Amino acid sequence: MPGKRKRQRQYDLDFTLRRVFGKPSFRPLQREVITATLDGEDVYLQAATSFGKSLCYQLPAVVDFGITIVISPLLALMNNQVAALRRANIRVETINSTVSATERQRIIEDLQCGHPRTRLLYVTPEYCELDYFRKVLRTIHCQRELARIAVDEAHCISEWGHDFRPSFTSLSFFKQDFPDVPIICLTATATQRVRDDIINTLHLKRSTLKTFRMPTSRPNLHYEVRFKSDLEDHYPDFISWLKCVHARRSENPTRVSQLTSQNQRVDNVPGIIYTLFRRDCEKLAERLRSDGIGARPYHAGLPHSEREDALSNWVANKEGYDVIVATTAFGMGIDKENVRFVVHWQIPKSFEGFYQEAGRAGRDGKASVCILYYGREDRDMAASMMRRDKDRRPSGASVEAYGKQLMNRAKSLQALVEYCEATNSCRHKTIARYFADEGEVPCDFACDWCKDARGLVRRKEDPVRGLASEEWCSTQREMGRYDVDYE
């Protein structure tokens, strides 16, 4: 077995950062994480959405010799990252269902040739379960070309996580078969329990593991909960908000000339609206289009080509593609820097899901808005969907594991309900508490509570536009009104 890789030479990290990745300087902690990885250490990195976690394995892959295998849970996320790396002229490959057999063959031949040109290979956890691929990995390892393993969105490993994927647990194979190959695992959303699971499942030694934890805080995001009741259609509220945003922009001559000089459209206010149901997703996109907003639906039931078209044109800021109305099929890892708003049309299924999805906003560091429309009827519907999920255990998940996962989801939804109902605390602080962050949590009037706590209470209790009473909801529950189907 090849011995543990130790750093052979000094790398000019700053030069590569500027020259290859086009970034002027490292963000706090990135250099430390990268150095630990290059030193051959196992690394656990937990940091806020948009922190720049990907760079922590991409840069080592470029400066170091050998191949970095990146395990990623989502095709869209993989393709997005691969495209960005190719634009930077980095030799990156992916093997997934969208890659042809001939293409796969070419990639595999390169990987096994003894002096591969590929720097990074993106694969799914399911692909890592195949005997065939494991054999290829053994060959690469024998040739001393297996540089490191990066496990992205590592919370998917844990049954206590909000996005558990059974095939992630089989990644334990890496440390067993290649104990000398360093692993770096990355996530934005892990509670203590999930962290423990990640470390145990991947067989990482606590005594030598380098752990980096940054707060989940995103000070440039303005969090806001807007209340709704069953009888009210909240579309008018949203469209008038969006039209105001458009008007503020176009009536501000400085902003207009700034945008024009940057070759940007003044009426391009990119955003994402998350809905729980596919049917809402298409109807809402259509409604927005009829109001002159370039909106497109995105959900797993649409043809692949239509989803690709929506995603690529939205990323490219093309006219007619300003807003994506999506189900959670569109989430983790989407990296478009100028998303100015993320709206949750109903309460999402988990606290972590909410944080992840809201985290798509403001990745350029500029102020952006995250609005969650909350109604008690939606809360009861989400709970009903969760109860229905009891009978939808995925193949590969044991009864015990699935039970744990459902229990965790119930707790997570409960925490999100408390977040929505609360009128006595800063939203940023509530999020930080959920993830057990330490230290100060900045909020410069960037949430509805800090901005106007009294107004928040007034809106919640408003007899017409506020929340429905618990008595009403309880009667509705008894009548079975919230027994919903997914579609």
Ligand X SMILES: Nc1ncnc2c1ncn2[C@@H]1O[C@H](COP(=O)(O)OP(=O)(O)OP(=O)(O)O)[C@@H](O)[C@H]1O
According to the binding rule CB under 6 A, does residue 359 interact with ligand X? yes
**What minimum distance in Å lies between the beta carbon of 27 and ligand X?**
4
Is the backbone of residue 66 left (phi > 0), alpha (psi -120 to 50) or beta? left
| Among 73, 333, 348, 362, contact with ligand X (rule: CB under 6 A) | 333
**What minimum distance in Å lies between the beta carbon of 69 and ligand X?**
17
Task: Pick out residues in 133-192 that bind ligand X (CB under 6 A).
Answer: 188
Q: Quick one: 58 or 201, whose CB is closer to ligand X?
A: 58
Q: Quick one: 26 or 434, whose CB is closer to ligand X?
A: 26
User: In the chain, how long is the greatest CA-to-CA distance?
Assistant: 71
Among 51-59, 177-185, 218-226, 418-426, the segment contacting ligand X (CB under 6 A): 51-59
**What minimum distance in Å lies between the beta carbon of 93 and ligand X?**
19
According to the binding rule CB under 6 A, does residue 51 interact with ligand X? yes
Q: Quick one: 215 or 333, whose CB is closer to ligand X?
A: 333
Q: Quick one: 218 or 379, whose CB is closer to ligand X?
A: 218
| Among 5, 363, 376, 429, contact with ligand X (rule: CB under 6 A) | 363
Number of residues near ligand X (by CB under 6 A): 18
Residues 5, 39: Cα–Cα separation, whole Å: 8
Q: What is the DSSP string of 41-54?
A: --EEEE--TTS--T
Distance of CA 215 to the CA centre of its chain: 16
Residues 174, 180: Cα–Cα separation, whole Å: 10
Q: Both tokens of residue 318?
A: 């093309």
Q: Quick one: 202 or 221, whose CB is closer to ligand X?
A: 221
3-class DSSP assignment, residue 355: helix
3-class DSSP assignment, residue 393: coil
Q: Quick one: 22 or 480, whose CB is closer to ligand X?
A: 22
| Among 230, 267, 309, 335, contact with ligand X (rule: CB under 6 A) | 335
| Among 337, 444, 452, 461, contact with ligand X (rule: CB under 6 A) | 337
According to the binding rule CB under 6 A, does residue 55 interact with ligand X? yes
**What minimum distance in Å lies between the beta carbon of 96 and ligand X?**
18
Using CA atoms, how far residue 299 sits from 3, 81, 285, in Å, is 46, 20, 12
| Among 5, 33, 37, 54, contact with ligand X (rule: CB under 6 A) | 54
Please name which of 231, 228, 196, 233 lies closest in space to residue 211, comparing C-alpha atoms: 196
Contact 141, 2 (CB under 8 A): yes
Q: Quick one: 75 or 239, whose CB is closer to ligand X?
A: 75
Rounded-to-5 percentages of helix, strand, coil across the chain:
45, 15, 45
| Secondary structure element (H or E) that encloses residue 213, with its range | strand 210-213
Sheet of strand 67-71: strand arrangement: 92-95, 120-123, 67-71, 146-151, 183-187, 43-46, 210-213
Among 43-51, 105-113, 242-250, 476-484, the segment contacting ligand X (CB under 6 A): 43-51
| Among 5, 34, 42, 53, contact with ligand X (rule: CB under 6 A) | 53
Among 89-97, 105-113, 138-146, 329-337, the segment contacting ligand X (CB under 6 A): 329-337
| Secondary structure element (H or E) that encloses residue 450, with its range | helix 448-461
Using CA atoms, how far residue 206 sits from 179, 271, 340, in Å, is 14, 41, 40
Contact 349, 385 (CB under 8 A): yes
Task: Pick out residues in 385-404 that bind ligand X (CB under 6 A).
Answer: none
Among 47-55, 161-169, 219-227, 475-483, the segment contacting ligand X (CB under 6 A): 47-55
The site string for ligand X over 254-293 (x = CB under 6 A, - otherwise) reads: ----------------------------------------
Q: Quick one: 187 or 229, whose CB is closer to ligand X?
A: 187
Among 53-61, 313-321, 370-378, 450-458, the segment contacting ligand X (CB under 6 A): 53-61
According to the binding rule CB under 6 A, does residue 354 interact with ligand X? no
Q: Quick one: 188 or 369, whose CB is closer to ligand X?
A: 188
Among 25-33, 101-109, 136-144, 194-202, the segment contacting ligand X (CB under 6 A): 25-33
Residues 381, 387: Cα–Cα separation, whole Å: 10
| Among 46, 49, 191, 217, contact with ligand X (rule: CB under 6 A) | 49
| Among 38, 43, 44, 52, contact with ligand X (rule: CB under 6 A) | 52
Residues 105, 103: Cα–Cα separation, whole Å: 5
Please name which of 165, 211, 147, 234 lies closest in space to residue 395, comparing C-alpha atoms: 165
| Among 27, 206, 243, 458, contact with ligand X (rule: CB under 6 A) | 27
**What does the chain come to in residues?**
487
Residues 221, 254: Cα–Cα separation, whole Å: 23
Contacts to ligand X by CB under 6 A:
23, 26-27, 30, 47, 49-55, 188, 333, 335, 337, 359, 363
